[in-house]
Every structure is written in C-alpha cells, then in structure tokens.
Amino acid sequence: MGSNIPGYFEDRRVDGVLDDTEANAVALSDGTNVAVLVSFDLVEIKGLSTAWRHRAAAATGLPPEAFYFACTHTHTGGNVGRAADSYEISFDSDPEYDKALEGKVVDVCRAALADLKPAQLLMGRTSCPGASFIRRYRMKDGSVTTNPGVGNPDIVAPVGQPDDEVQVVRLVRTDAPEILLGNFQTHPDVIGGTRISADWPGFTRRTLEKTLGDGTKCIFFNGAQGDSNHINVRPEPGRETNKRYEHSRQMGRMVAGAVLGVYGFCVPTPAGRIRCAVKDVSMPIRKRSAEDLPAARADWALYCAGRANEIKGHRFRLVEAARIVRLEKEPDEIPFPVSAIAVGDALCFTGLPCEPFTELGRVVKKASPFRMTFYTCLTNGSYGYLPTAEGCSGESYESASTIFDPAAAGRVVQAQIGILRAL
C-alpha cells in the first residue's frame, strides 16, 4: 500500500486491491532436462530479471537459461525495479517489495519443480474476435496516432490488424490436477485507477479454473500486444468498452470462453526433449540528433518539475523528449536477449524483453518450425516498445517512445526465427 503503480506518466499510488496479482509457474521435464516458465502479473520487470533467473538457478541447480520469466503487463500491478533501469517514463519501486518478490520467485520455481508429475501433452487453437483492437489509427490529415478516441470522426482506418488467435496447451497429469496454459495478445490496460488488479489475464485464469474444476490450474501468457488494446472506436450499441473493471471481467470471460470452446478438441501430441536458449541480439538504437537535445532536455526538466502542462508540441512530445534524453549516452547498438523453450518438435515458447507489435508475433508464429509456438511479451527483461519499421514513424505513442531504429524489428525477427530453427 502506498507504493507506485507503473504504466502511466503520473505517479499513481496503491490505495486498495480489487483482486489478487499472482506469479504462476510450470515446470517441464523430459526426465533429464528441465525448464521453468513463470507468468507474472506485472507491467514489467525493470533491470532485475537476469538477477532473479540467476538466483533461481543457484537455488535449484538448473542453468539460468532454463528459467523463462514473462509478464502479463497488467497496468494495475506492483512496480518492480529502479526507474534508471527503464527505457520509458517510470518511477522507482519500493526496495522492500523488490526483495520480497525475489524470494517469492524462488519459492514459486521450487514449488513447480516439486510438483512434477507424468503428463500427456494436448494442444489446440481457436480465436477470440472482438476482444482486441488495433490502437493506432490513420487520420484524415494523413497522420497516425494512438487511441484517438471512441467515435472520433477523423479516423480513417486502423494501421494493422489485431491477432485474435488463442493457443491452448493441456498438461493432463497422472494423479494430479491438470495444468492449462493459454496464450492470447492484447494490452491489459482496461481498469486504470489506483487499486491493484491482474486485469483480464487474471479473470481469464479464474474463470477457467472455476469452470473446469477438479483442481485445474491455469497459467496465461500475453503475446505481441504493443499496438493493440481493448478499445473499440466504433462499437455497436451495448458493446462499448469504457466500463473499466466490468469490461476487464468480460474480456476474461471472452478469452476463457474461446479456450473452453476448443478444450475438448485439443489433440494429444508427442512431447520430446526439453531445450532452452537465451541469446543476445545486437539491436540498433534510434539516431540521436544534437539539435534535438536542448529542447528535449528543457521539456524533460519541465516534467520533472511538475510542469508538464507547459510542454508544447504534439500529444506525445513528453515521451519523445524522455526517449531523446534517455538515449543521449547509449551506444549505437545494445544487447537484447531473445528467449526460447522447446518441447520436442511440438511446442515452443519464445519471447522478447519488450512490447512487440502484433505483426511481429504473427510473423514469428507463422515461420516457426514447431507445431505450436507461444509468443510472449516482456520476457526476461524490459526495453519498451518494439514497432515494425513503419510503426517507428509518425506521432503515435509507440513511435515517439521506442528506443529502436526502424531496422531493429526485422533484425530481431530473423534472429528469433533462426533460434527456433536451431532448437
């Protein structure tokens, strides 16, 4: 209570709890090789993910690359890590919360390892239309902007398409409750305010666990969600998306309903050897102009002094100024960890430490040599938005804030596909 909630420009402070946030872990073993995947109800893990994986490795005897830490990106979760370790506008976390959470990370990994049972792997796919919408729009004046507002008459069309795919994995265990894994993609930024909630991923988990019963446990992984959210700018009557907590609950029902619709049709699939990889890709950073720095420093100083209302320019000028100042002393390229866990040739989990645009996840899933590929955002780190090359231009929130050069997305997608093929 009283600590910062990350996810916006202002310093929101926790004054209540709407529902629990969780860290959910599943361990996978082929009898020799082991991997542990954890899904956190956090917006991101700033600067601590590598240390946490090494701490879990030391506590369990597994190598650090065996740990796969992904965040659901709820905008009403706890703050983790220092603002200095973020590539976006951020605030420091409570050091006591960070320390307590590190202990919980080790505990949940140990608990998953202690709960290993023989299991059969089943997989299925379906879709959940109407839950996710592209949030970047081309306007009548030719510009592209983020969240232009419901019913805005100047909207021409969305720039991109949402990914409605829902992927389902059932681990049907011997003499133990089933573990259900789900993968869908859109921003968990439905609720807002100053009270803690896991947002729609939490509602999805709880709905499935209650409906299926028999002790079934659900773990949900959010996918490529950098340019999508819950807002339908042209809703039909009765399907408006501004109901906050109740709409988050409805999204949970929708995604859970899609899972339930394919649950009984999931196909038994041979598993196989577990392989793990965390490999750095050298990512190009956006060019910085010396002429841009003075104005950016001045705007950032206004924000730090609590005078953000005095910043002139386009709607997202503040995040652009923050990005320019943040990159002033950065090298031209930075290491960027790409993570993957493979189960035979059937199933793969792969993630980036950022918020990738929807199209990037779609391309990697299509090119993957595995029968099913769970694509996850904010995995083993946090570097802000990763747009497509086209998404780096314009005055949208994502283009104003991203630290990456337009060539970065293509480079990392090819590297990610290469890692999956090597596995």
Each of the 423 residues of the chain gets a pLDDT tens digit; together they read 999 999 888 889 999 999 999 999 999 999 999 999 999 999 999 999 999 999 999 999 999 999 999 999 999 999 999 988 888 888 999 999 999 999 999 999 999 999 999 999 999 999 999 999 999 999 999 999 999 999 999 999 999 999 999 999 999 999 999 999 999 999 999 999 999 999 999 999 999 999 999 999 999 999 999 999 999 999 988 887 778 999 999 999 999 999 999 999 999 999 999 999 999 999 999 987 888 899 999 999 999 999 999 999 888 999 999 999 999 888 999 999 999 999 999 999 999 999 999 999 999 999 999 999 999 999 999 999 999 999 998 889 999 999 999 999 999 999 999 999 999
pLDDT of residue 374: 98
**Count of H helices and E strands in the chain?**
9, 23
Kindly list the distances between the CA atom of residue 367 and the CA atoms of 73, 298, 363, 415, in Å, as whole numbers in the listed order. Answer: 25, 45, 6, 12
pLDDT of residue 243: 80
With a CB cutoff of 8 Å and minimum separation 6, the contacts of 48 are: 80, 81, 85, 98, 102
Task: Identify any residues that bridge with 39 across adjacent strands, giving them in sequence order.
Answer: 24, 70
Using alpha carbons only, give the angle 113, 119, 121 rounded to the nearest 5 degrees. 115
pLDDT of residue 393: 86
Render the burial of 43-80: b for 16+ CB within 10 Å, e for the rest.
Answer: bbbbbbbbebbebbbeebebebbbbbbbbbbbbbbbbb
Instruction: Give the whole-angstrom CA distance, residue 160 versus residue 135.
Output: 9
Instruction: Give the whole-angstrom CA distance, residue 419 versus residue 421.
Output: 5
pLDDT of residue 231: 96
Instruction: Give the whole-angstrom CA distance, residue 173 versus residue 115.
Output: 10
Pairing of strands 144-146, 136-139: antiparallel
Burial label for 111, CB within 10 Å (0-12, 13-18, 19+), is exposed
Instruction: Give the whole-angstrom CA distance, residue 398 versus residue 405.
Output: 12
What is the distance of C-alpha 288 from the center of its chain? 27
Using alpha carbons only, give the angle 401, 6, 133 rounded to the nearest 5 degrees. 60
